């Protein structure tokens, strides 16, 4: 009996050993077969997942984000232990013990799968976190035996090469957790608006509940399923000793509390951020912008940007109200018991902004009762709707209204805004059809401090600062007059504001430009001609100096590129962009230097390496530097305009504010220079103004060009927006004067004649004229001498006559 038992034991042990050997041989063959063409896991050393590119303001607020995968890469030592423990409890309890594979977990999964046979349930996996890293990084998601074998081989190999901490870091940054969240840092922000170190146990458990099925247990769409899965994770955390009994009890009882990322975490400047995004794509490529996690520091100044948006909107609304009310958005039946639901479902305009929808409940002569969404009641008093005279036809409005009945009736759906001083008082509003743009530049550096490309980005992302081509009108005159200064004229020089006729070529009627008011001033100084924006003297001037130098100046300053050869360019008939025109004035404000507008200050890659900087400053007196004081920095740019000629233009443009078409800005009591602009039939209106610290360009016009109104101009539309901006934007800054170059002498002259001031000159006519020292010997003719010439006396050949220019040019002026 004992002998038979020994023989049986021998046979069984032999079979076991033989089976083990055969199994080992088979296993080795499997490993050799499936291990031949495995991906190189060493690529994990250079793991560079798609990450968020972030744009920041000057003060460090997030301006915008761009990414194909919303991911914020986080190092292992920055991940709280609570979160690591939550994922270990949920996904791989033996993570820190096994070598990539967990036999116990595999056996447990196999048993569950056997029990579930025929129950139409998905098979349960026994994958470790290491295996999930392999699947996510190196293999596909196909459910095949060969893929599982390759996954196991790679998991084992990786566990021998990389630390557990590195594997966990890869896993927690790569996983998708729903809600456009890749990795735990992004998920914490998107679900809870928290940083990782701010999460509590139930929030960490909810994140750990998501990897298995982020859509199925989505806490936004399926809060019940999400809570069940979260509480299971919490129970696992308790079993593993990661949380206490008290923490378990509190956490499992809590409801899921989600918070969207606060809009206050972002500084919204949509036109600006879109300009930056496009510039980044041009500089670095689309893949870099959406995948490389660039850190972009822009030049947007939060305060300036907010004021620019506010003043542009107010200016456009002011114009729109002045030109009448276009009527209610629609109507609903107030008698219908469900009218409040009808109001709630009424389609809102895309650019509604801070306005609210309201339904008219009752109308009498002096007031209108309204109801807002949610049932809140209010009243519009007559003073807050009296602007609403009805439009009769394009750009024409009727007489002022005398009763609210004239514009509103019961059931109308309208837009309103709350009157701040009275809680239930509202004002009638409408969204303007007119549009515009404003851009703010910093002289010397060229930084774009603010950019608003239209009334509403939500309605139209077309950027009227960088994309719209519009005629600058009289704003362009400044550059023609700059050419005159370069060609020997000075501010005292005499030009002729008289009728002029120019031939447009065979078969074409002559061009007879005119002044805006149809009047003539005769012989006037070059300064007065520009200050008063006289068209006829400007056309006379370009016939004297010629087209070529004017075209060269426009290209030198970046206003145009290869413009048509046409004398109407003197009056701004060729299209340019708001940014191009504003920067041309920025060059003047910068002392005639080649300054380029820049939206981006500097860019870093994801590892913190500086890869771009727009800072052109250099250190002065480098040889004399010492460690006791920092070096003085200066901007080094090419000199595009002689500094003395440039200052003469600044001085004339200051006169535009003091005595000319922009005199309304004189109320600001600041050093300001600038130029208004209005195109033919008032299609486009402009003002570009500046001081030594800031340049502000404002444009107003319809996107589909049409007249703004016969009496509208740059002075009435664009200039008030500029004034409002300066009032707010510079209210806490000291006034600075422009620096007078050494080559300029400030001479007292008679502004009316350009002659040197004498004791007989009216003190009100005396101004300090900027004369180049090389021109001090020159003397302007007196008005009497000029009139003698015009009346046919000696030198009558100087009288303006018709010029046959043999040029084609349009009738725009």
Q: Count how many residues are written for the chain.
A: 813
Answer whether 44's CB lies under 8 Å from 162's CB: yes
Nearest to 756 by CA among 772, 780, 740: 780
Q: What is the DSSP string of 430-495?
A: ---S-EEEEEEE-TTT-BEEEEE-SS-TTT----TTTT--B--GGGGHHHHHHHHHHTT--TT-EE
Q: How many CB atoms lie within 10 A of CB 583?
A: 25
Q: What is the DSSP string of 664-730?
A: GGGGG-S--EEEEEE-GGG-EEEEEEEETTEEEEEEEE-SS-----TT--TTTTHHHHHHHHHHHHT
Return all residues near 226 (Cβ < 8 A) that are at least 6 apart. Answer: 206, 209, 217, 218, 219, 256
From residue 555, how far is each of 332, 584, 647 by CA, in Å? 57, 10, 20
Answer whether 488's CB lies under 8 Å from 534's CB: no
Return all residues near 320 (Cβ < 8 A) that are at least 6 apart. Answer: 430, 432, 433, 434
How many helices, marked H, and strands, marked E, lie in the chain?
A: 22, 26
Q: What is the DSSP string of 515-532?
A: -TTS---EEEEHHHHHHT
Answer whether 154's CB lies under 8 Å from 134's CB: yes
Q: What distance in Å separates the CA atoms of residue 647 and residue 24, rounded to the nearest whole number?
A: 91
Q: What distance in Å separates the CA atoms of residue 803 and residue 504, rounded to the nearest whole number?
A: 10
Q: What distance in Å separates the CA atoms of residue 747 and residue 756, rounded to the nearest whole number?
A: 8
Q: Indicate the DSSP class of residue 358.
A: E
Q: What distance in Å separates the CA atoms of residue 682 and residue 135, rounded to the nearest whole number?
A: 65
Q: What distance in Å separates the CA atoms of residue 142 and residue 555, rounded to the nearest whole number?
A: 61
Q: Which two tokens stand for residue 690?
A: 């500046």
Indicate the burial class of 77 (C-beta count within 10 angstroms; 0-12, 13-18, 19 or more): exposed
Q: What distance in Å separates the CA atoms of residue 502 and residue 528, rounded to the nearest whole number?
A: 23
Partners of 700 in beta bridges: 436, 685
What are the respective helix, strand and coil percentages of the chain, to the nearest 5?
A: 40, 20, 40
> Pairing mode, if any, of strands 295-298 and 53-56?
parallel
Answer whether 480's CB lies under 8 Å from 544's CB: no
Q: Which two tokens stand for residue 229?
A: 């899965």
Q: What distance in Å separates the CA atoms of residue 341 and residue 338, rounded to the nearest whole number?
A: 5
Q: Indicate the DSSP class of residue 124.
A: P
List b or e across 155-185, with b for residues whose CB sees 16 or more CB atoms inside 10 angstroms.
bbbbbeebebebbbbbbbbbbbbbbebbbbb
Return all residues near 574 (Cβ < 8 A) that are at least 6 apart. Answer: 471, 560, 563, 564, 566
Query: Which run of H or of E encompasses 556?
Result: helix 547-556
Q: Is 474 designated active site? A: yes
Query: Among residues 91, 406, 531, 712, which one is catalytic?
Result: 91
Alpha-carbon 380 to chain mean position:
35
> Pairing mode, if any, of strands 803-804 and 502-503?
parallel
Unique residue bearing structure tokens 């074998």: 149
Q: What distance in Å separates the CA atoms of residue 627 and residue 604, rounded to the nearest whole number?
A: 28
Query: Among residues 273, 445, 456, 474, which one is catalytic?
Result: 474
Alpha-carbon 735 to chain mean position:
29
Answer whether 658's CB lies under 8 Å from 532's CB: no
The catalytic residue positions are: 91, 474
């Amino acid at each position: 009996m004992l002998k038979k038992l020994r023989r049986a034991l021998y046979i069984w042990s032999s079979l076991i050993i033989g089976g083990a050997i055969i199994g080992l041989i088979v296993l080795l063959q499997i490993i050799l077969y499936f291990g031949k063409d495995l991906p190189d896991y060493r690529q994990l050393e250079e793991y560079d997942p798609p990450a968020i590119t972030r744009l920041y303001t000057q003060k460090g607020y997030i301006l915008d984000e761009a990414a194909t995968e919303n991911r914020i890469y986080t190092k292992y030592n920055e991940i709280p232990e609570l979160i690591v423990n939550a994922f270990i409890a949920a996904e791989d309890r033996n993570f820190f013990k096994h070598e990539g594979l967990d036999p116990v977990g595999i056996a447990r999964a196999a048993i569950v799968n056997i029990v579930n046979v025929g129950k139409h349930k998905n098979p349960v996996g026994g994958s470790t976190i290491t295996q999930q890293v392999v699947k996510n990084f190196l293999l596909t998601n196909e459910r095949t035996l060969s893929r599982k074998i390759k996954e196991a081989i790679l998991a084992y190999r990786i566990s021998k090469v990389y630390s557990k901490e590195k594997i966990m870091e890869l896993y927690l940054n790569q996983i998708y957790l729903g809600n456009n969240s890749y990795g735990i840092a992004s998920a914490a922000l998107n679900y809870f608006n928290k940083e990782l170190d701010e999460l509590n146990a139930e929030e960490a458990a909810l994140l750990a509940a998501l990897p298995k099925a982020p859509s199925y247990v989505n806490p936004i769409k399926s809060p019940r399923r999400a809570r069940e899965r979260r509480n299971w994770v919490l129970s696992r955390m308790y079993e593993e000793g990661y949380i206490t009994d008290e923490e378990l009890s509190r956490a499992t009882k809590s409801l899921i509390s989600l918070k969207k990322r606060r809009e206050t975490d972002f500084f919204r400047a949509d036109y600006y951020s879109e300009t930056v995004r496009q510039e980044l794509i041009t500089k670095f490529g689309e893949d870099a912008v959406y995948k490389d996690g660039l850190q972009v520091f822009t030049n947007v100044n939060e305060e300036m940007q907010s004021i620019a948006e506010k003043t542009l909107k107010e200016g456009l609304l002011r114009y729109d109200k002045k030109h009448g009310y276009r009527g209610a958005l629609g109507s609903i039946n107030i008698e219908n018991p469900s009218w409040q639901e009808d109001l709630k479902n009424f389609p809102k305009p895309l650019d509604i902004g801070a306005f609210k929808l309201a339904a008219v409940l009752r109308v009498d002569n002096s007031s209108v009762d309204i109801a807002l969404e949610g049932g809140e009641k209010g009243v519009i008093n007559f003073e807050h709707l009296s602007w609403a005279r009805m439009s009769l036809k394009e750009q024409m409005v009727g007489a002022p209204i005398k009763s609210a009945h004239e514009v509103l009736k019961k059931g109308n759906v309208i837009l309103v805004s709350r009157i701040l001083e009275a809680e239930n008082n509202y004002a009638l509003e409408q969204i303007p059809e007119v549009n515009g743009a404003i851009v703010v530049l910093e002289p010397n550096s060229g930084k774009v401090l603010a950019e608003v490309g239209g009334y509403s980005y939500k309605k139209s992302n077309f950027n009227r600062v960088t994309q719209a081509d519009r005629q600058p009108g009289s704003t362009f005159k400044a550059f023609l007059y700059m050419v005159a200064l370069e060609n020997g004229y000075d501010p005292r020089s005499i030009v002729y504001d008289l009728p002029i006729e120019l031939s447009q070529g065979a078969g074409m009627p002559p061009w007879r430009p005119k002044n805006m008011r149809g009047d003539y001033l005769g012989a006037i100084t070059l300064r007065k001609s520009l200050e008063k924006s006289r068209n006829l003297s400007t056309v006379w001037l370009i016939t004297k100096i010629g087209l070529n130098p004017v075209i060269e100046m426009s290209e030198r300053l970046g206003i145009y590129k290869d413009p048509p050869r046409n004398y109407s360019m003197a009056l701004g008939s060729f299209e340019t962009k708001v940014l191009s025109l504003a920067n041309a004035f920025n060059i003047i404000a910068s002392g005639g230097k080649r300054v380029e507008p820049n939206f981006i200050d500097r860019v870093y890659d994801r590892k913190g390496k500086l890869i771009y900087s727009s800072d052109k400053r250099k250190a002065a007196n480098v040889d004399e530097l010492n460690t006791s004081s920092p070096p003085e920095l200066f901007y080094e740019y090419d000199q595009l305009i002689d500094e003395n000629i440039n200052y003469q233009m600044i001085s004339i443009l200051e006169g535009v504010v003091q005595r000319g078409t922009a005199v309304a800005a004189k109320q600001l009591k600041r050093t300001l220079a600038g130029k208004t602009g209005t195109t033919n039939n008032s299609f486009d209106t402009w003002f570009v103004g500046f001081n030594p610290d800031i340049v502000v360009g404002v444009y107003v016009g319809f996107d589909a060009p049409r007249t703004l109104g016969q009496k509208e101009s740059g002075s009435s539309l664009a200039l008030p927006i500029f004034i409002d901006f300066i009032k707010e934007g510079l209210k806490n800054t000291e006034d600075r004067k422009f620096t007078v170059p050494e080559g300029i002498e400030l001479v007292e002259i008679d502004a009316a004649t350009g002659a040197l001031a004498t004791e007989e000159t009216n003190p009100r006519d005396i101004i300090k004229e900027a004369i180049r020292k090389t021109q001090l010997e020159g003397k302007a003719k007196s008005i009497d001498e000029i009139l003698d010439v015009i009346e046919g006396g000696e030198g009558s050949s100087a009288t303006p006559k018709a010029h046959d220019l043999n040029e084609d040019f349009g009738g725009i002026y």
